[in-house]
Amino acid sequence: MTAYDVDVLAIGAGPANLALAVAVEESGAVDLAENTLLLEQHPDIKWQRNLLLPWARSQVSFLKDLVTLRNPRSRFSFLNFLHEQRRLDDFVNLATFNPYRWELSAYQQWVADSLEQVRVRYDARVERVEPRRSMGGRITGWTITLAGGDRIVCRDLVFGTGRDAHIPGVFAGLPADRVIHSTQYCTRVAALDPERPIRPVIIGGAQSAAEMFMAVHTDLPHSTPTMVVRSIGLQNYQTSKFVNELFYPSFVDEFYYCDAETRRRILDEVHLTNYAGLAPPFLDELYGLLYQQKMLGQQRSRILPMTEVVAAHRDDTELKLTLRDLRSGDVSQLGCDVVLLGTGYSPQMPALVRGLAESAGLTEVTVSRRYRLEMAENTWGAVYLQGVNEATHGIADTLISVLAHRSQDIVDDLLDRRSEAHDRTMLEVRSA
């Protein structure tokens, strides 16, 4: 078992914490950068690891990369990545703002490899986070225990792991090997026999569900997929340029300082900008797939709209889903071999964050404008939460749109707290 100290520890080496790592390096605070460590539980960095489908594209402009909106001259930009990889001409020739997902994933690994001061540790899965306290009970930092027993002590902690996967309760009784959440898709589907005539049922009507529905046609070429959707039909994301202004980093201030009821109303209004919708080009492609099947008399797939699963169990040979038609109320049975869940993420704070809050004696999890967990004023060690603050910082908080500016907010807070601590120390010295 190994133990060592760092100043700032960031859990997760996804886009949120990579943007933070870049901001730390570009802040000029060398001591802070050299004592910042990112932990990644996998052996490498992949963006949306289990939905890295070869044809899947980002729905967000490449200009909203890890740095450009904060520092357009940064060497860590997506365009510089393309330039260094000698792929810029080819990308420009695509004439698109929406790169393939695998290309943005490769960009993020390149950023991690290009860091000169901040370190990244791979194969480091966090099992436990506990506060460290002074003799007087003041929280002075955090102790992180990794799988394998290594322990890391830090002053400040940053969570960038995203939310936990949402598994609807109706599927809780099914065998785990027959239920695949979108966060597991590529790995788990690769383990299925592609020669078998598998009957997958895809649950959900948003982008991840639709991508799995499309992907199984290739990944399981003899399958007969069914997609179950509660809504009247698959629909576009809201893409109005007026509504998209809510994804400006500047809107975070406007949203944060609204009262709680106004925030809830805004989130309800903009729900379809990020949830329960599909990117318009992909929606057209999916409709075209079903159109071809129908017109060529090769109906292999189907979508059941206005339908919900009210029960699920396994009998001797198959899974049985009980479906209810939301128009007529009729109930029917659907047999299948595997259930693919495009059901998104839990609205709760991640389990690791809830556990940390409980150990720190907090009754609720709230964050400041600069994403710092609200704790007692005399707390020395801080916690920052990225990507889980939609209720206070707006719908863009879970997306890459605000990464660059959010990382600057956190770095500013880190540096301001260190400056304040230095000033207090100097005052105490002078007073002695």
pLDDT digits (tens, 9 = 90+) for 12-69: 999 999 999 999 999 999 999 999 999 999 999 999 999 999 999 998 999 999 999 9
The pLDDT value recorded for residue 64 is 95
Compare 199 and 398 and report the one with higher pLDDT: 199
How far is the first Cα of the chain from the last one, in angstroms, to the nearest whole number? 41
Q: In the predicted model, what is the mean pLDDT of the chain?
A: 92
pLDDT of residue 140: 92
Judge: domain 169-237+274-341, CATH 3.50.50.60: yes
- One-letter identity of residue 428: E
| pLDDT value for 415 | 96
Least confident of 115-119, 156-160, 243-247, 260-264: 243-247
> Quick one: pLDDT at residue 227?
98
Question: Cα–Cα distance between 367 and 364 in angstroms, integer?
Answer: 10
Give the pLDDT confidence score for residue 137 in this predicted structure.
Answer: 84
- Pick from 64, 91, 118: nearest CA to 248: 64
CATH code linked to domain 3-164+346-431: 3.50.50.60
pLDDT class of 379 with cuts at 50, 70, 90: confident
Other CB atoms within a 10 A radius of the CB of residue 57 amount to 18
The answer to whether 36 touches 112, Cβ cutoff 8 Å, is: no
Mean pLDDT on 281-302? 93
Q: What is the band of 427 on the pLDDT scale with cuts at 50, 70, 90? A: low
Q: Are 100 and 55 in contact (CB under 8 A)?
A: yes
Cβ-in-10-Å burial (0-12, 13-18, 19+) of 238 comes to middle
Phi and psi angles of residue 307, each rounded to the nearest 5 degrees, phi first = -135, 140
Q: Tell me what pLDDT residue 35 has.
A: 96
pLDDT at 431: 58
For the record, the structure tokens of 164 come out as: 């936990």
| The residue count for the chain | 432
425 — pLDDT class (breaks 50, 70, 90): low
- Confidence class of residue 2 from pLDDT cuts 50, 70 and 90? low
Residue 302 phi/psi, 5-degree rounding, is: -155, 155
Instruction: Give residue for tokens 């600069």.
Output: 370
Banded model confidence at residue 108, pLDDT cuts 50, 70, 90: very high
What was the pLDDT predicted at 237?
81
Q: What confidence score (pLDDT) does residue 1 get?
A: 57
Is pLDDT at 212 greater than 70 in this prediction? Answer: yes
> How much is the average pLDDT of 201-215?
95
Per residue in 232-284, pLDDT tens? 999 888 778 888 888 889 999 999 999 999 999 999 888 877 777 888 889 99
pLDDT recorded at residue 377: 74
Mean pLDDT of 402-407: 96
User: Which part of the chain is CATH 3.50.50.60?
Assistant: 3-164+346-431, 169-237+274-341
Greater confidence (326 vs 431) lies with: 326
State pLDDT tens for residues 85-107. 999 999 999 999 999 999 999 99
pLDDT at 255: 94
From the number of C-beta atoms within 10 Å of its C-beta (0-12, 13-18, 19+), residue 386 rates as: buried
- Whether 424 shows a pLDDT value over 70: the answer reads no
Confidence category of residue 432, pLDDT binned at 50, 70, 90: low
pLDDT value at 428 more than 60? no
Q: Model confidence at 422, in pLDDT bands (50, 70, 90)?
A: low
Give the least confident one: 2-11, 269-278, 309-318.
269-278
